[in-house]
Structure formats: C-alpha cells, structure tokens
Amino acid sequence: MLERYVKKILASRVYDVAVETPLQKAPTLSVRLGNEVWLKREDLQPIFSFKVRGAYNKIAGLSEADRAKGIVAASAGNHAQGVALAGRELGIKTIIVMGRNTPDIKIDAVRALGAKVVLHGDTFDEAKLHADELVKKHGYVFVHPYDDPDVIAGQGTVALEICNQHPGLPDAIFVPVGGGGLVAGVAAYVKYVHPSIKVIGVEAEGSACLDAAMKAGRRVRLPAETLDLFADGVSVAQIGKETFKIARRYVDEVITVNTDEICAAVKDTFDNVRSIVEPSGALALAGLKRYVERDGVSGQHLIAIASGANMNFDRLRHISERADVGEQKEAIFGVTIAERPGSFRRFCQDLGKRSVTEFNYRYAGETDATIYVGVGIKTLDERREIAASLTKKGYAVVDMTDNETAKLHVRHMIGGRYAGASEELIYRFEFPERPGALMKFLNGLGSSWNITMFHYRNHGAAYGRVLVGFTSANGGDERKLKAFLKKIGYRFWEESDNPAYEMFLD
C-alpha cells in the first residue's frame, strides 16, 4: 500500500499551482517548550491552505472526457477554494455547493476564483446530498475533499517537502485531522521513507472521529449534535474509508485538544511567525504542546503543520478572550463575597500579589454579592491553589475556567435578574448564521413560552452562540418545549443548573 502511495505522491502535479512552503522554526516557543519546534507554513499557499494540493492533483488527473463534464464539490471551506482554483486553471466548469449559513467571505472567495456557488442546506451532509443530485442530473464529476487516493497523494507532498527541508530527521510530525486526507498522505510517505518518525494526528475534542475509530477498530459516525464547530475546517463526523485504511496502520497516535488550547495555539503562531491561522490551522500546534506537557519530552525536533489561514477577522476577539485560558495563563472563578464596604479590597488582598484580568460584580441580596473574576496564573497547580486558598478564607468559590456558558455568555451579561427566576429554564443554542434563523425559532415557539433572557454572540463563524431563558405562559409544557427544540434542528444544551447562571443571572 505505502509503495503505491509514495509513487503517486512523487508523481503528483501539485506544483502547477501549489508552492513549496517553508519549514519555519518557532523561536520563542522552542525556548519555552525546551524542544526545537517547527511550523510547516501551509497557510502561505495561494488559497492560504494545503487543500489546493489534493484538489488540483485529483482534477489535473481527470480524462478529457471527464473534464468536459464539469466538476462539483460540496464544501464551505478550504476545499471549495482549492477546487475552484483548479477548475479555473484547467478551464473546467466548476460548481461548489455550500450551506446557506456559509459566511460571505468564503462565498466571495470561491466566486472570485470563477466557480459557480450553489447555496443549499445548513450542513455539509445536506450540501453533499445536493451535490450528489447534481452529479446524477448533469453528469458532473464529484471531487471528494479527502476520501480519494489522488487527493490523499496530493496532500502527501507536504510530507515530502518536510523530509527534504528539515536538517536531519524530526522526531514527530503533528497533523490536523478532519476527514483524514492530510494525515493519511503524510503517514503514507513518512512511514515508507523514514518509519522512525512519529506521525501524530490532532483532533478537536468535539470532532475526534479518527480517535473514536482507532479505539473502536472501525469507522464510527459521531452524533451531529456533539460535533465541534469552532475548528470548522476539521468538523467531520466520520473518518474517510480510504484514509482510515492508512491511518489505522501508520498513524502512531491521536491527540485531542479543546477550544481554549486551539486559541492559545493561534496566539503562539502569531507570536512566533506573525501569521494569523484559522482554528483548524492551529490544531497541530495545540496537539504538539499537549504532547510535550503530557510526556515531558525535551530536546526533540517537533513539527506542526500550520494547515490554513482562512478565518474571518470577527473571530479574533473570541480567540483573544480564550487564548490565555488555553495557555493556562488565566483562571476564571465565581466567588461569593460579603455585601459591605471594603469587601472588594479585602478580596484583592486575599488574592495576594496576583493580577486580576477581569472583574464583574453582581448584587445578590442584602448580605452577599457574587463576582466573576479572572486571575492571571502561570500553572494549573496555581489555579487549584487559588481556589483552595480562597475557600480556606471563607469564600464560596466555583472554578469556571472550563465552563463554556460562563465564558461564551455570562461574562458579557452580568447584571440582569428575572423576578420569577425559580421558574426559568435556560438553554444554550447554536443558530445558523443566515437570514430567517431567528424567526424560524420564534415562530415555532408559539405563545406557550415567554423569552425572559436572550444573549447572542457572533464569532465570525457559520453558527452564532445564543443563550435563552424561558418561562411558561398559557400552560406551556416543558416536554413539548424540548420536543420543539429537537424538531427545529438547532443544536442545544440545557443550562438551568449551570453554576454560572445560578450565581450571576438567577
């Protein structure tokens, strides 16, 4: 298998449009981690992503008859731009099916490359089904984003370059994983040429389809409601069939990372090479950092593939808010203090010589107040020590550093209170970013429920984050409410018992 793939990689035609990207050392990160850290700069490709390699290699290999049919792809991300660029360069009619909630920046980028954009559905699966219908109706050739030998071979040229560019043999290469095209291509080349080099896949916690498949020994499909949408470039429910054949045998391990760790890696990339990568583009570096922390390795040569930089500018605020938490430089606490003069000063004294990064105050009654406080830290142990110290001094403390509702919503909302809060139900949603999404929600809700609280945040992504409070009106039934929420199709989580809500909004 490997020999066949290596031959395909060596024969790939990617350099008609792709460039050989640099392997760049990350100087400050290398010192901090005690290892030689290198970034493979795929964010410098013509479409700012490695995806151009596989897409072009596949399309360039089509017969004249297939080229005459035209090509179609289903993608709202970097694969769409890769296919569009290849179609333009090769003079092939190109159709890209995207979800209706795709940000304008991505739609405009694909159209600028000469492709026709068809908006259909809200998810990749819906877009893919429509693309399949177009194939049946018009005879187009479908270009898969990852599960195709020619696409895999095109992505594998990244590994060929790394092995030629690095002075000596690296100890490990960290590869972001969505459907598996890149990690399969890298593993196929590396394990044939230099089998001692570790190939480590990195996935977002909510989209760890390769990790799930490795543990099960077979491909499994993750539930749609659990998929991570922050690192949208790798938000895939099931690893590819062909990619898993390679990965299960030749990928050494899979590491999963959370949103905060990804945000910290985006910041690290900027600090070291002055590039702003997208969340999936920082995934490999986040995995590298976790690997070093977990295993305590030092003096090794470690390479992370910075896979892409197609990110809306609007997302930077959210990333900057989360980066320090991901770097374990900030801890978030909910603390109850006495409602009397001098309490805040005493609290700061009890914190000691630590930096307060954020402070939100909430009057909670005649005797108590609650505060949402961010504290600068240097280690995870320090976070635990702060909580223990404050508890010992008589404060009621809740560690909210890992509380998504607290970090996404509550920190921006502290101050409101509903008189009938004991009857209030709290839900967190992901609304598709498209016209009519809110009205669809409100119209379906009907008159049985009052909305007592509504907080929306856009992060420049395909989905907005929404926190909603409900109370019954006209005999609303909670079971019917949940049935409606499931029927509408928006992902949701009940947060009525979340301590962040109870402390600051209840």
The per-residue pLDDT for 357 is 74
Does domain 328-402 correspond to CATH entry 3.40.1020.10?
yes
Superfamily of domain 410-504: Biosynthetic Threonine Deaminase; Domain 3 (3.40.1020.10)
**Average pLDDT over the chain, rounded to whole?**
86
Give the residue numbers annotated as catalytic, written as ranges.
Answer: 51, 307
On the question of pLDDT at 435 being above 70, the answer is no
Is 187 in contact with 250 (CB distance < 8 Å)?
Answer: yes
Which stretch of 99-113, 381-395, 419-433 has the lowest confidence by average pLDDT? 419-433
**Residue, of 421 and 195, whose pLDDT is higher:** 195
Domain ranges, ordered by start, for the chain: 2-50+149-321, 53-142, 328-402, 410-504
- Highest mean pLDDT among 5-14, 387-396, 442-451 belongs to 5-14
Which stretch of 158-167, 172-181, 488-497 has the lowest confidence by average pLDDT? 488-497
The alpha carbon of residue 210 and the mean position of all alpha carbons in its chain are separated, in whole angstroms, by: 15
- 454-473 tens-digit pLDDT: 777 665 566 777 888 887 76
Confidence of residue 382 (pLDDT cuts 50, 70, 90): confident
**pTM metric for this prediction:** 0.77
Q: Which residues pair with 257 in a beta bridge?
A: 204
Tell me which of 3.40.50.1100, 3.20.20.70, 3.40.640.10, 3.40.50.1980 is the CATH number of domain 2-50+149-321. 3.40.50.1100
- Mean pLDDT value of segment 294-317: 90
Confidence of residue 327 (pLDDT cuts 50, 70, 90): low
Q: Work out the angle at residue 228's Cα, subtended by the Cα atoms of residues 28 and 189, and round it to the nearest 5 degrees.
A: 60
Is 202 in contact with 174 (CB distance < 8 Å)?
Answer: yes
| N residues, the chain | 506
Positive or negative, the Cα torsion across 309, 315, 320, 326?
A: negative
Does domain 53-142 correspond to CATH entry 3.40.50.1100?
yes
The per-residue pLDDT for 461 is 61
On the question of pLDDT at 324 being above 70, the answer is no
On the question of pLDDT at 43 being above 90, the answer is yes
The per-residue pLDDT for 482 is 81
Which stretch of 54-68, 388-402, 432-446 has the lowest confidence by average pLDDT? 432-446
- 6-18 tens-digit pLDDT: 999 999 999 999 9
Is 456 in contact with 409 (CB distance < 8 Å)?
Answer: no
* Same fold? 53-142, 328-402: no
DSSP string, 8-52: HHHT--GGGT-----EEE-HHHHHHHTSEEEEEEGGGSTTSBTHH
- 254-290 tens-digit pLDDT: 999 998 899 999 999 999 999 999 999 999 999 999 9
The per-residue pLDDT for 295 is 96
Confidence of residue 157 (pLDDT cuts 50, 70, 90): very high
- Mean pLDDT value of segment 370-395: 85
On the question of pLDDT at 376 being above 70, the answer is yes
Element (H, E) at 449: strand 449-457
The per-residue pLDDT for 355 is 72
The per-residue pLDDT for 61 is 96
Q: Which residues pair with 457 in a beta bridge?
A: 465
Is 197 in contact with 217 (CB distance < 8 Å)?
Answer: no
